[in-house]
Chain A
Amino acid sequence: MKIDVRNLSKRFGNFVALKNVDLDIASGELLALLGPSGSGKTTLLRIIAGLDFADGGEVYFAGENAANLNVRKRHVGFVFQHYALFRHMTVFENVAFGLRVRPRRERKPEHEIVKRVKRLLEFVHIEGLAERYPDQLSGGQRQRVALARALAIEPNVLLLDEPFGALDAKVRKSLRRWLRDLHGELNVTSVLVTHDQEEALEVADRIVVMGNGKIEQVGTPEEIYNEPANSFVFDFIGESVKLPVRIENGGIWIGSRRLATNDELPGTGPARLFVRPHDLTFGEVSEAPLQGAVRAVRRVGALSFADVRLDYGGDDLLVEASLPPETLVRPGDLVGLTPRRYRIYEDGAAESLTSAAL
Chain B
Amino acid sequence: MPPLSKTLRFREPSVIPGFGLTFGLTVTWLSVIVLIPLAAMILYASRLGFDQFIAILTAQRTLNALKLSFGIAFAAAIFNVIFGLIVAWALTRYEFPGRRIADAIVDIPFALPTAVAGIALATLYSPQGWIGQFLAPLGIQVTFTPLGILVALIFVGIPFVVRTVQPVLKDLDPELELAAASLGASRWQVIRKVIAPTLLPAILTGFALAFARAVGEYGSVIFIAGNLPNISEIAPLLIVIRLEEFRYADATAIAVIMLFVAFIMLLIINRLQRWTEARS
Contacts and interface: CB of A to CB of B under 8 A. Distances in A.
Interface string A30-50: 000000000000000000001
B15 A51 contact: yes
Contacts of A70: 15
B13 interface: yes
B6 interface: yes
B interface bracket (residues with beta carbon within 8 Å of A): under 10
Nearest to B6: A55
Nearest to A53: B13
Contacts, number: 10
Contacts of A56: 1
B89 to A, nearest CB: 34
A56 B7 CA distance: 13
A112 B208 CA distance: 61
A93 to B, nearest CB: 21
A52 B6 contact: no
A71 interface: yes
Interface string A50-84: 11110110000000000000110000000000000
A209 B1 CA distance: 29
A50 B6 contact: no
Interface residues of A, number: 8
What is the interface of chain A mostly: helix, strand, loop, or mixed?
A: loop
Interface in B1-23: 1, 6, 13, 15
Interface in B211-259: none
A53 B12 CA distance: 9
Contacts of B6: 55
Contacts of B13: 52-53
Contacts of B15: 50-53, 70-71
B6 to A, nearest CB: 6
Contacts of A71: 15
Contacts of A55: 6
Contacts of A53: 13, 15
Q: Which of B1, B6, B15 has the most chain A CB within a 10 Å cutoff? A: B15
B210 to A, nearest CB: 37
A172 to B, nearest CB: 29
A71 B13 CA distance: 13
Contacts of A51: 15
A50 B16 CA distance: 11
Nearest to A55: B6
Contacts of A52: 13, 15
Nearest to A12: B12
A54 to B, nearest CB: 9
A317 B15 CA distance: 50
Contacts of B1: 56
A205 B15 CA distance: 30
B202 to A, nearest CB: 31
Nearest to B13: A53
A50 B14 CA distance: 10
A55 B5 CA distance: 11
Nearest to A52: B15
Interface in B125-157: none
A70 B6 CA distance: 19
A120 to B, nearest CB: 25
A51 B14 CA distance: 7
Interface string B11-37: 001010000000000000000000000
Given A52-B15, A53-B15, A55-B6, 7 more contacts: A50-B15, A51-B15, A52-B13, A53-B13, A56-B1, A70-B15, A71-B15
Interface of A: 50-53, 55-56, 70-71
10 contacts: A50-B15, A51-B15, A52-B13, A52-B15, A53-B13, A53-B15, A55-B6, A56-B1, A70-B15, A71-B15
Question: What 10 A-B pairs come out closest when comparing CB atoms?
Answer: A53-B13, A51-B15, A71-B15, A55-B6, A50-B15, A52-B15, A70-B15, A53-B15, A56-B1, A52-B13
